[in-house]
């Protein structure tokens, strides 16, 4: 098991999830002092070279305050209206607080389908990565203006975990109203002890958060453990800590109580096994011997090595890669629709813009979205021509 890093500045990319109760005082509006302090923490991390993404709740809570809606449960259309107003206000507050450190904020509103449907997943990932490349801090939330009970996450813990895995983050921080995972609910059991390090999310760990049949299984710690399973299986560590004090991220480095969940020791294998085994290929790419050797060497598949395109698929669909003998050697997520793939197959990447009329992606399948399904028994010579 890997050990927690001594400082948050040792991580490369961090996703921070913030609940609405931390950010909005119901009836009184935004907690500006708290938000400014968190933004100071974010600025300090960025100064140390850490990329930061924020998954921020609070749109509905802020919107109902702006609209002076009565306390109590809201109807669906009232929640959606509150979200519409609150999202504007929430984005403005984040932008203003981050701008104090000359940081630009970018708003991303996601629905469940944006992370579960491959084409939309790839588009969302590309947008977020571009924001990070340009030096902005993405402020992400579920799009509650259109989400319904049937098509929503329902909690931002799991949304944050999906964002962390989507963007290849190496740490997810869940700022909560409790400072970590305890052996039992501390408000019910005075003997409950904080677990500072969780090597693996076992059934015993899940039971501490409230099992499926438990009264604690709705929201709360249970959704945080669900988020931990998503994040750690993809190689992303997770921290649960209290977000109530000012500067809660700085507090982690200064020894504030928290629980650290270790990432999986084999994250790439786990993620790519999911690609290979759980999705049915929507089409097939036949590649030449040079491309096959290059794929085994860990390269992306470029159009030059593709000899034939079969099936009707769209960008983001899972497709099969076969050698000239017809046996499958890999599966991956298509970088192009089938019709586009047929037009650029066998051509060099520099010809894509001329063939398609726009500057497309260099790879037919990017190596991060490709898993080998057949091991090679031959060594690749250094002088092999690389088609992928």
**The CA-based dihedral angle spanning residues 163, 165, 170, 174, taken in that order and rounded to the nearest 10 degrees:** 50
**C-alpha span between 30 and 216 (Å, rounded):** 28
**C-alpha span between 217 and 195 (Å, rounded):** 19
- Please give the annotated binding residues for ATP, written as ranges: 17, 176-177
DSSP codes, 261-316? EPPPSSHHHHHHHHHHHHS--SEEEEE-HHHHHHHHTT--B-GGGEEEEEE---TT
Q: Tell me, what's the pLDDT at 272?
A: 62
pTM over 0.75: no
Q: Tell me, what's the pLDDT at 152?
A: 56
Protein fold of 271-372: 2.30.130
Q: Tell me, what's the pLDDT at 127?
A: 93
Classified as helix, coil or strand, 350 is helix
Q: Tell me, what's the pLDDT at 265?
A: 76
Domain ranges within the chain, ordered by starting residue: 10-265, 271-372
Q: Tell me, what's the pLDDT at 121?
A: 79
**C-alpha span between 272 and 262 (Å, rounded):** 19
Protein fold of 10-265: Carbamate kinase (3.40.1160)
Does residue 92 contact residue 123 with C-beta atoms inside 8 Å?
no
Q: Tell me, what's the pLDDT at 154?
A: 62
Residue 268: what are its φ and ψ, rounded to 5°?
A: -65, -45
Q: Which of 44, 48, 45, 93 is nearest to 66 (CA)?
A: 93
- Please give the annotated binding residues for substrate, written as ranges: 57, 144, 156
Does residue 208 contact residue 181 with C-beta atoms inside 8 Å?
yes
Strand partners, 53: 15
**C-alpha span between 227 and 27 (Å, rounded):** 30
- Please give the annotated binding residues, written as ranges: 17, 57, 144, 156, 176-177
Q: Tell me, what's the pLDDT at 327?
A: 86
Does residue 23 contact residue 58 with C-beta atoms inside 8 Å?
yes
Q: Which of 167, 164, 323 is nearest to 231 (CA)?
A: 164
Per-residue pLDDT of the chain (388 residues), as tens digits, is 677 887 999 999 999 999 888 998 876 788 999 999 999 999 999 999 999 999 998 888 888 888 888 778 888 888 888 889 989 999 999 999 999 999 999 999 988 777 767 678 788 889 999 999 999 999 998 887 776 654 455 678 888 988 998 888 999 999 988 899 998 888 888 888 999 999 988 878 888 876 433 333 335 788 898 888 888 878 899 999 999 999 999 999 999 999 999 998 766 554 564 465 444 688 999 999 999 999 999 999 999 999 999 999 999 888 999 999 988 898 888 999 999 999 999 999 999 999 999 888 899 999 988 888 764 433 333 333 333 3
């Amino acid at each position: 098991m890997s050990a927690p890093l001594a400082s948050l500045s040792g991580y490369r990319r961090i996703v921070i999830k913030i609940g609405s109760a931390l950010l909005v005082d119901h009836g009184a509006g935004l907690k500006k002092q708290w938000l400014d302090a968190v933004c100071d923490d974010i600025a300090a991390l960025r100064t140390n070279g850490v990329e930061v993404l924020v998954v921020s709740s609070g749109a509905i809570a802020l919107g109902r305050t702006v609209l002076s809606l009565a306390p109590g449960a809201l109807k669906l259309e009232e929640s959606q209206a509150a979200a519409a107003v609150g999202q504007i206000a929430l984005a403005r507050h984040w932008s203003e607080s981050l701008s104090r450190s000359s940081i630009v904020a970018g708003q991303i509103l996601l629905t469940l389908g944006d992370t579960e449907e491959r084409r939309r997943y790839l588009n969302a990932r590309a947008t977020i990565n571009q924001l990070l490349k340009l030096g902005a801090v993405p402020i992400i939330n579920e799009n509650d203006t259109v989400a319904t009970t049937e098509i929503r996450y329902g909690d931002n813990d799991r949304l944050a975990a999906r964002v962390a895995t989507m963007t290849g983050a190496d740490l997810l921080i869940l700022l909560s109203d409790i400072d970590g995972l305890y052996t039992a609910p501390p408000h019910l059991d005075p003997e409950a002890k904080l677990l500072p390090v969780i090597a693996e999310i076992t059934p015993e760990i899940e039971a501490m958060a409230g099992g499926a049949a438990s009264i604690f299984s709705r929201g709360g710690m249970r959704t945080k453990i669900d988020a931990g399973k998503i994040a750690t299986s993809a190689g992303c560590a997770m921290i649960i800590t209290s977000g109530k004090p000012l500067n809660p991220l700085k507090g982690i480095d200064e020894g504030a109580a928290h629980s650290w969940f270790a990432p999986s020791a084999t994250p790439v294998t786990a993620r790519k096994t999911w690609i290979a085994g759980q999705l049915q290929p929507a089409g097939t790419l036949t590649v030449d011997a040079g491309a096959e050797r290059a794929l085994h060497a860990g390269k992306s598949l470029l159009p030059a090595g593709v000899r034939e395109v079969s099936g009707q698929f769209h960008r983001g669909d899972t497709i099969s890669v076969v050698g000239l003998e017809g046996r499958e050697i890999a599966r991956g997520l298509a970088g192009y629709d089938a019709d586009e793939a047929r037009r650029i197959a066998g051509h060099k990447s520099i010809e894509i813009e001329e063939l398609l009329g726009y500057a497309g992606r260099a790879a037919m399948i990017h190596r991060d979205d490709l898993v080998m399904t057949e091991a090679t028994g031959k060594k690749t010579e250094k002088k092999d021509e690389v088609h992928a």
